[in-house]
Amino acid sequence: MIRQRPLHVLWTLCLLLALGACSQDGHAQQAQDRAGVRPDSTQEPSRGSVALPDFVPLVREYGDAVVFVEVRQSARSRLSSGGAAEDPLLEFFRRFGIPNPEQFGEPSPAPVRGAGSGFIVSEDGYILTNAHVVENADVVTVRLTDRREFDAKVIGTDRGTDVAVIKIEARNLPTVKIGNADTLEPGQWVLAIGAPFGLENSATAGIVSATSRALGGDSYVPFIQTDVAVNPGNSGGPLFNMNGEVVGINSMIFSRTGGYMGLSFAIPIDVAMDVRKQLIETGRVVRGRIGVTIQDVNAQLAEVFGLDKPRGALVSSVEPQGPAAKAGLKAGDVILQINDQPIERANELAVAVAKLKPGTQAVLSVWRERKERELQVTVEQMQDTSEQRAATMPQAQREEAKLGLAVRPLTEEEKKELNTDGAILVERVTSPAAEAGVQPGDIIVGVNGVTVQSIEQLRKIVQDAPKTVALLIERGGAQVFVPVPTK
């Protein structure tokens, strides 16, 4: 016989059972929480949380367009091409805070090797890298991610921006996508790919710390500052935004140890692409100048000159008879704007003027005697220096490819002054001519027993030579034959 229980008793039993189940579930949840386990790890993040970026698709799509650049240069070649102080390999060490390896003794006669990174910008083999990576190197080798290796030709270098263009003979190569550095803002995620310490195709990420950073010296670059881990070997590699676009070329770090310390700097890609275009098309980089020395305006100077806040470029000196002097600019003027571009810091004016084509008229908004006025200045061309080199230079310079020589014709005045019958002056020397003993300032009188009177005649004889040519060199009034192997 089944006994019937009152309804309120049944409800009481059900309630007790339910409370027991909840207690067990609560204890189980607490245990899982203590162990760091969540029952459903696929649930959406709570409102207000931020998901970290996923760089895998970016690296997968564009990593193959990043290359390893290896350079070789002999000690003798380094000294012949301007001395250790101007050696790009030692410049490489300096930029990364590493002690000069030659300060502890004499240069080693063995070839010195260096390495950096680069990235392919066209399917037919044009590559961007840093000037300090490849400048004056005897041999440049590019290695792709599929381990193919190519000898690279240095199309041109520009120390003013630390940008170089090199070329390999290949087709259908993977390329990067070019972005716009002007859209960058502090706090944005960026990714670097390169070969730190020779570890090829290493990816490191961080954020943009600042834009338009001035680093002094003779640079015409408004640097992108990041906290991306960049080390020796990353030099010349690309800096990507989260859209997979290259926005900069990793160029240098600030360091007390030689390693990464959270301060890395990249050249904006628009600056690099402008240099690339000029080097390929004309063989040199043309910049504008107006002939002034400028500095930043700090709070104290702003108060002295009656400015509402620190801004503009303060003119500290004006070149006599220069463009600025002719336009009426004076020391003590503060340039607040050039054409339609406001100037907040001095480096912004330097960059803006450098971009202008020589011969153009620029309108300057100038603060003088607590009033703003306008002056018109005609931009002149900045004089070429040894800081620029291009393989597309005039024919007089192209013998580097065969002999390791850069030469030019002597003028009639120079011939009289030097009292020589020679017609060709050696301006720069790399291997193999440097290893044979040829030096800058030597005069080439003849080749293989034939007197040469022109660059074209020299080029033809060298071009037809199978292995070695005998250069008749005049130095200090004496002449000597120097055998030089052709490349």
Contacts for 44 with CB less than 8 Å, ≥ 6 apart? none
Measure the CA–CA gap between 397 and 123, rounded to whole angstroms. 28
Where are the alpha helices (H) located in 208-308, listed in sequence order?
A: 269-281, 299-305
Q: How many C-beta atoms surround the C-beta of residue 339 within 10 A?
A: 12
* Residue closest to 273 by CA, chosen among 96, 119, 66: 119
89-to-58, 79, 275, 352 alpha-carbon distances in Å: 31, 12, 22, 30
- Using the Cα atoms of residue 215, residue 349, residue 332 and residue 312 in order, give the sign of their dihedral: negative
Measure the CA–CA gap between 337 and 383, rounded to whole angstroms. 24
Catalytic option among 162, 202, 255, 431: 162
Q: For this structure, is 33 an active site residue?
A: no
User: Per residue, what are the HEC states of 352-414?
Assistant: HHHHCCCCCEEEEEEEECCEEEEEEEECEECCCCCCEEECCCCHHHCCHHHHCEEEEECCHHH
Measure the CA–CA gap between 259 and 161, rounded to whole angstroms. 23
Measure the CA–CA gap between 322 and 289, rounded to whole angstroms. 9
Joined together, the tokens standing for residue 182 give 């002007």
CA 68 to chain centre: 15
Joined together, the tokens standing for residue 249 give 């070329």
Contacts for 116 with CB less than 8 Å, ≥ 6 apart? 69, 71, 92, 129, 130, 133, 134, 194, 195, 233, 234, 235, 236, 237
Q: For this structure, is 146 an active site residue?
A: no
Q: What amino acid is encoded at 125 in this protein?
A: G
Catalytic option among 81, 132, 138, 365: 132
Catalytic option among 80, 117, 202, 235: 235
Q: For this structure, is 235 an active site residue?
A: yes
Q: Which residues are catalytic?
A: 132, 162, 235
